[in-house]
Amino acid sequence: MLKTAQEEWAGEPGELARYPCLDKSGSMVWIASIIITLALLYVRAPDIWPARFWAEDLYEFLMRAQIDGVHSLVDSYAGYLHTVPRLISLVASWLPMKYAPEVFLFFVLFFTGWAASIIARGIGGFAGVLAGASLVLANGWMEPVGSVTNLQWLLAPTLLLLAVRPNGVTRIEGGIFAAIASTSGPFATAFAPIYLFVLIRSFVKERQINVVALIAIIGGTIQLAEVLMNPANPREPSGDHVTWLFGRLIELSAGGSLAALAVGALICASVFFGKDRVQRSLLIGASLLLTIMVIAKFKTQTDLFITDLGAQRYWYVQSVLLLLVGFLAIRDPSNVSKAAGALVVAIIAGSSIYSGVARVWVGTGSGWRDAVEKSYSAPIVYTYAPNWTMRLESGTLYRDRFP
């Protein structure tokens, strides 16, 4: 049987009594997690203010919202749907265009905080308070965090944890999150075997339907259909070293070669001790499954991963999942699991911080309001990221140049 919300939040016997801030709803836990996560987001990505755009924010999402309106929700880009960025862009298009960067930033903070709160409730206890910060403590964080375009990379591991461990979240909230997250990016398709296993296991063992897993499967099926109908353009090969790429992705997600060995050993140890081993195993399996998917996509472009300066999003989700495994192990009654989990978190978070506490913004992106106002007098070209420019005419966006 599933634990009640109070039992799950309380954790080990007596924990609720020792810490009065853990009330029946556990609200203090997820509120604290949101505050910590957003504070760390600003420390690590101070470039989020003043508000600005990144990559496809303008080139695809806001432009399509202006041109296609609500129909843009079903527009495919890069071979799949992007529900969350397109919803945000629709809202921005209905408001004065000069405020679009601030609207985008608001929703970046909203979805980052929402994801952190779901993770906090899923993990539970005081480990959950810190677990939400996995979104900004994982290796490869520099590229995905702080932009509407890359929100899908934060939503993916959150949705997976929610399906595997649906604690503290109502069916309505879980269903809404699953619907928009599973149709934002290809991850629901990549994790489909995990979602199917969770759905079957929940029905067989508990005679319950895991609504989140079911919706994720539906979303993943829709995304698979989009991928098949909108295949990506083929690229020129630049080498084929599958074994090297597999090891390299594991190394990057853990934070280094020695770190990868240590994390691998500790995670294996945590799986063989304590309870909730199936949940931790599923997250580990999902991390490996996604790594295999990345290899299948980039097996002829291994040069992208020689350094850790680009394409960071392709090992970010795996790193978040490994951190979540660590936090779940910390919550385990087994002392072996607790110790292993604490070391996993320390190694991954430590390597992430060691590689750079804060990122340095390399874009421009200022002067948006002036550009919008001037566009009503004459067309203007606006540069908002390295090699990304848009043409503004009377406040309406048109494509100009992109990498």
User: What is the token pair recorded at 368?
Assistant: 């948006």
pLDDT in tens, 216-274: 999 999 888 887 776 655 454 444 566 655 655 565 565 555 566 666 666 666 666 66
Q: Are 208 and 139 in a shared domain?
A: yes
In a domain, 267, yes or no: yes
Pair (212, 338) in one structural domain: yes
Same domain, 372 and 331: no
Look at residue 52 in the predicted model and tell me its pLDDT: 86
Give the closest residue to 366 by CA, choosing from 341, 393, 385, 394.
385
End-to-end, the C-alpha distance of the chain in Å comes to 53
Task: Name 387's Cβ contacts closer than 8 Å, sequence gap at least 6.
Answer: 401, 402, 403
If you search the block for the tokens 């979303």, which residue do you land on?
Answer: 219
14/25 Cα distance (integer angstroms) = 17
Q: Is residue 338 part of a domain?
A: yes
Q: Which of 1, 2, 4, 7 is nearest to 331 (CA)?
A: 7
- The parent domain of residue 384 ranges over 368-401
Mean pLDDT, the chain, whole residue set:
81
170: which DSSP letter?
Answer: -
Judge whether 360 lies within some domain.
Answer: no
Whether residue 129 is found in the same domain as residue 101: yes
Give strand pairing partners of 399. Answer: 390
Q: Is 126 inside a domain boundary?
A: yes
* Domain shared by 46 and 104, yes or no: yes
Residue 23 pLDDT grade (very low, low, confident, very high; cuts 50, 70, 90)? very low
Q: Are residues 326 and 388 in the same domain?
A: no
- 148 and 243 part of one domain: yes
Q: Are residues 390 and 321 in the same domain?
A: no
pLDDT in tens, 54-100: 888 988 999 999 999 999 998 888 888 999 999 999 999 999 999 99
Cβ atoms within 10 Å, residue 53 = 25
Q: Enter the pTM of the model.
A: 0.85
Task: Judge if 42 and 166 occupy the same domain.
Answer: yes
Please report the pLDDT score of residue 95 as a whole number: 93
Q: Residue 303's CB: how many other CB atoms inside 10 A?
A: 11
On whether both 298 and 270 belong to a single domain, the answer is yes
**Side-by-side strand order, sheet with 388-393:** 380-385, 388-393, 396-401
Pairing of strands 388-393, 396-401: antiparallel
394 in the same domain as 254 = no
The answer to whether residues 224 and 346 belong to one domain is yes
The total domain count for the chain is 2
